[in-house]
Amino acid sequence: MEKIGVPNCPKTKGYVVTIVENKAIDLYRRRKRRQALELDDDACGIQVVYEGENTLTACILKLPARYREAILLRYVQGYSVKEMASILGLSFAAASKLDQRAKARLKDLYEKEGKL
């Protein structure tokens, strides 16, 4: 608000239009990144569809539920760590650590599966 000197100035209108355009683009990209789904009270967690012989998918399915949910929220659904923390009801630091541990566990599982 400090940048706005005179409210009825053409520069002010251009500044506000630029802000609104950028926010609209941000919202569009965020909605485009995630599929909009209707909320279902009976649904619990994230559904995983296992199709074919895919080692990575098999390893994700072997993860504990909490790690699996973190991986799917972060890398399949495209949420940021901050958004993931909000969804899971965690602090940012806890969500970041959960993401780190889930990736490490997935890496270990994948390396073991690759050697079999």
pLDDT at 106 over 90: yes
Q: What is the rounded distance in angstroms from the CA atom of residue 41 to the CA atom of residue 43?
A: 6
Model pLDDT, residue 5? 64
| Predicted TM-score (pTM) of this structure | 0.56
Q: What is the rounded distance in angstroms from the CA atom of residue 3 to the CA atom of residue 25?
A: 22
Model pLDDT, residue 43? 47
Percent of the chain with pLDDT over 90: 26
pLDDT at 111 over 60: yes
Average pLDDT, the chain: 79
